[in-house]
Amino acid sequence: MISLTPEMIIIHMVFFLIMVWVLHAFLFKPLLQSIDARKDSVDSREESARDMDSRADELAGQYNEKIEEARKEAVVEKEKLKKSGEAEEDRIIKEAREKTGDMIADLRERIAADFQQARQGLQTDADEMGKDIARRVLGREV
């Protein structure tokens, strides 16, 4: 049977303390350091992920602002082009009206000249016809 003597209890306590010290030095301390290192690594990565997330949100906000600015600039540019096109259209229409007005005036002058020339031709022809009819009716030269 096992006898419990004070020397045996002291020896067992010494062995127990040595074992605790050895286990602490070679097992628990490295294990706790490894766990702490992992925890620090995970915390660092989580912080990095939060930083990246906030940076991504910031960049997305900047991107959306730039897109909105570009849209506004596009609308302004579109309006400028539209006004420029309308001004060009008005200028072309005005030129066309002026040319058309000039052409109409020129055609009226030509028509008037042709009309006057035709009138003179008809007057001459009418005079000759009148003389011819009078000569035939009278039977002599008039």
Q: What is the DSSP string of 54-116?
A: HHHHHHHHHHHHHHHHHHHHHHHHHHHHHHHHHHHHHHHHHHHHHHHHHHHHHHHHHHHHHHH
Confidence at 139, pLDDT banded by 50, 70, 90: confident
User: pTM score, two decimals?
Assistant: 0.47
pLDDT digits (tens, 9 = 90+) for 14-66: 999 999 999 999 999 999 999 999 999 999 999 999 999 999 999 999 999 99
pLDDT digits (tens, 9 = 90+) for 114-133: 888 888 888 888 888 888 88
